[in-house]
Structure 1
Amino acid sequence: MTEVRIEGLVKTYGSAFALDNVSLTFPHGSFFGLLGPSGSGKTTLLRAIAGFVVPDQGRVFFDGEPVEALAVEDREIGMVFQNYALFPNMTVAQNVAFGLAVRKVSAADQKRRVAEVLDLVQLGDFGRRKPHELSGGQRQRVAMARAIVTRPRVLLLDEPLSALDRSLRVDMQIELKRIQREVGITTIFVTHDQEEALTLSDQIGILKAGKLIRHGAPLEVYENPRDAFTARFLGEANLFEVLSSSNGYHLADGTKIEALPSTHGDMLAIRPEHLVVSVTEPAQGPRLRATLIQRIFAGAIGSCVIDWQGHPLKATGRYQEFSTLPDQGPVWLSWSPDQARWVSQ
């Protein structure tokens, strides 16, 4: 298992920063998710680690050893791309063995190692098939097998599940995590799908316009976003501007907000699952008068679309909890103060 460390990576294209002084450590054997909107620098960072992109500044280390001078083929990297990049004229076994053949591994060892990884990805009986005879999920597993059969130090995944439909994507998330745990390879995973990153990753890093905005354990980053961008990008958040006066902190309608010892920022973020909707006024705690616009049924989980002072808000929970609410009309919103987070804009 290999620790990957990057220090002060900078990459520009013209006057635009693709990477803007990014430093980050990917721990040994971790599954690390990189996420951010389009153009945030995720793929550029991945390609810089692989050696496909040469940074203008900065260093890349594998287990403390600099690798910038190494060619792509000498970095011992396995990669899986969005389109899988399988050779259509080759069988599954030949596709998987390609990297071994390039490295001049003996035919006997090729056969043994290909059989091992095809069993690992649960395609042991598919070696003679061609890519066009496989489903999308099976092609994705072939690409994974090809990437790990060479026993790389680091596995890089660039949106490998984005071409799959939702139900298959969920199944493959489970498969990806299982395979990564079994082989123990340090894995860096690029995705724009927040739910996917939360599901798969031991650690996550959020990029915006080439800058690393936040990184850490998924639960920690989700529950303590620190800034409005992270709160909105990683899941959903209701954001309230907080005003200050001689009487303390309050919202636009005058609702008093308690300042916590760790207070920082100028907005309050409340996740939809922490916003309580009721017909009667709560007896205590912060509460707002608002208007219920719509109740949405989505199986066991439901949501409410709410208007407060012209701002759209959202509450989520078990649909049964919302069944006593009117379809539309005046409601009360409340939350526990310890579930609200102060964030900067």
Structure 2
Amino acid sequence: MSSVEVRNITKSFGRARALDDVSITFEDGGFFALLGPSGSGKTTLLRTIAGFSFPDTGTIRIGARNVEAVPVEKRDIGMMFQSYALFPNMSVADNVGFGLRVRRVGAAEERRRVAEALDLVQLGDKGGRMPHQLSGGQRQRVALARAIVTQPKVLLLDEPLSALDKTLRVDMQIELKRIQREVGITTIFVTHDQEEALTLSDRIGILRDGRIVQAGTPREVYDHPNSAFAATFLGEANWLPDAALEGLQLPGDRTRHRFAVRPEALTLTDGRPATGNALSARLEQRVFAGAMATCLVRVDGEPWKLVARDRDLPEMAPGSEVWVSWTPEDTLAVPREAAT
């Protein structure tokens, strides 16, 4: 397998710059998520790595080879699309083996590798079926088998699970991570789903307006966002009003940082707790969602959100005066110059 190195890539469509001096390295064998809002450049970056789009400037290396001017069919990559893109008139085995036939692999070798790929995605007994005879999750696995059967150096996934319902998507997240670990292939995937990015990836890159605004492990980016955009795009954040900072234990200089707390880090009580950081609030709404509940409160006039186990929350009516508290270690510190 191979690492992928992108250096100073720019790409414009007319007057719109989709990628703006992007530099990032995808480690050999890693699972990397590209996350960002619509129009952030994440899909353009993936397509540029794949070779479906050529950059205006900059370099792309797959392993030791520069490929920014190499056509897609010669980059030795596997690609899995959101739409599956299976051939409806071909069997599952023929769909999976299509890339091998294009590469003129011998018939015996093709059968062996197709069988191995189908076993890997737990569809070893489905090779003779047609795509319309499979469930959505099974068709997704066929598309994945087809992407990896050619033994590419890099696997690129474009919103691979977005067409599935929630339960099946969670199951496929587990399977996709298992398969990636077994094969050990360098994997880059685009998603708009924050939970999916946190669940699957070893590293995350957040894009905004064609730039990488932060990259790191999921825990690094979640626990130490370098901007308000990163803090609120990957997860949610309650911002502490400047007027409410007095007396709180904070992890940074108040003139240089803004501070926030994640909703799941908060505790709600009907009286002030004896330890930790605490602010008075007014309960506006409590939303039951099974084991968990969401409380909407007002802190110094600002809307805050709290998420906790429903049974851990006191029974209080909307309009009640409450306290929200958290440990000082759960306070996020964001540089003010990067706060927007």
Shorter chain as denominator, the TM-score bin is: over 0.9
Q: Once structures 1 and 2 are overlaid, which stretch shifts more, 59-68 or 260-269? A: 260-269
Instruction: Report how many aligned residue pairs link the two structures.
Output: 336
CA distance in 1, matches of 2:271, 2:152: 60
Contact 2:17 2:210 in 1 (8 A): yes
Aligned-pair distance for 1:125? 1.1
Moved over 6 A (4+): none
Aligned-partner SS, 1:212? strand
CA distance in 2, matches of 1:320, 1:150: 51
1:300 partnered with 2:291 = yes
Contact 2:202 2:217 in 1 (8 A): yes
Q: Which residue of 2 aligns with 1:15?
A: 15
Contact 1:201 1:218 in 2 (8 A): yes
Aligned-pair distance for 1:318? 1.6
Alignment of 1:113-192 (within 5 A): 113-192=113-192
Aligned-pair distance for 1:286? 3.3
Contact 1:272 1:314 in 2 (8 A): yes
Q: Pick closer, same or farther for the CA change 1:140–1:257 going to 2, 3 Å.
A: same
CA distance in 1, matches of 2:301, 2:182: 51
CA distance in 2, matches of 1:254, 1:44: 42
Q: Which residue of 1 aligns with 2:274?
A: 283
1:147-182 Cα deviation digits (max 9, x unpaired): 000000000000010000000000000010011111
1:82 partnered with 2:73 = no
Q: Pick closer, same or farther for the CA change 1:259–1:309 going to 2, 3 Å.
A: closer
Contact 1:265 1:342 in 2 (8 A): no
CA distance in 1, matches of 2:189, 2:307: 29
Contact 2:270 2:314 in 1 (8 A): no
CA distance in 2, matches of 1:285, 1:106: 68
Contact 2:250 2:328 in 1 (8 A): no
Q: Which residue of 2 aligns with 1:260?
A: 251
Aligned-partner SS, 1:116? helix
1:316 partnered with 2:307 = yes
Aligned-partner SS, 1:108? helix
CA distance in 1, matches of 2:222, 2:277: 22
Alignment of 1:191-340 (within 5 A): 191-241=191-241, 251-253=242-244, 255-260=246-251, 265-340=256-331
Q: Which residue of 1 aligns with 2:108?
A: 108
Q: Pick closer, same or farther for the CA change 1:319–1:81 going to 2, 3 Å.
A: same
Contact 2:250 2:331 in 1 (8 A): no
Q: Pick closer, same or farther for the CA change 1:307–1:115 going to 2, 3 Å.
A: same
Q: Please, which runs of 5 or more residues in structure 1 have no aligned partner?
A: 242-250
Contact 2:52 2:72 in 1 (8 A): yes
What is the letter of the counterpart of residue 112 of structure 1? R
What is the letter of the counterpart of residue 51 of structure 1? G
CA distance in 2, matches of 1:56, 1:95: 34
TM-score (structure 1 length as normaliser): 0.93
What is the letter of the counterpart of residue 310 of structure 2? Y
1:114-134 Cα deviation digits (max 9, x unpaired): 111111101111111111111
1:46-65 Cα deviation digits (max 9, x unpaired): 01111111111110011232
Aligned-partner SS, 1:160? coil
Q: Which residue of 2 aligns with 1:98?
A: 98
Contact 1:11 1:19 in 2 (8 A): yes
Q: Which residue of 1 aligns with 2:27?
A: 27
Contact 2:238 2:305 in 1 (8 A): yes
Aligned-pair distance for 1:69? 2.9
CA distance in 1, matches of 2:165, 2:300: 38
Contact 1:10 1:21 in 2 (8 A): yes
CA distance in 2, matches of 1:262, 1:168: 45
Q: Which residue of 2 aligns with 1:244?
A: none
Q: Pick closer, same or farther for the CA change 1:213–1:282 going to 2, 3 Å.
A: same
1:39 partnered with 2:30 = no
Aligned-pair distance for 1:264? 7.6
Aligned-partner SS, 1:232? helix
TM-score (structure 2 length as normaliser): 0.95
Over the aligned positions, Cα root-mean-square deviation in angstroms equals: 1.6
Q: Please, which runs of 5 or more residues in structure 2 have no aligned partner?
A: none
Contact 2:3 2:186 in 1 (8 A): yes
CA distance in 1, matches of 2:14, 2:38: 18
Contact 1:293 1:328 in 2 (8 A): yes
CA distance in 2, matches of 1:199, 1:259: 29
CA distance in 2, matches of 1:254, 1:181: 45
CA distance in 2, matches of 1:131, 1:56: 39
What is the letter of the counterpart of residue 282 of structure 1? P
Q: Which residue of 2 aligns with 1:246?
A: none
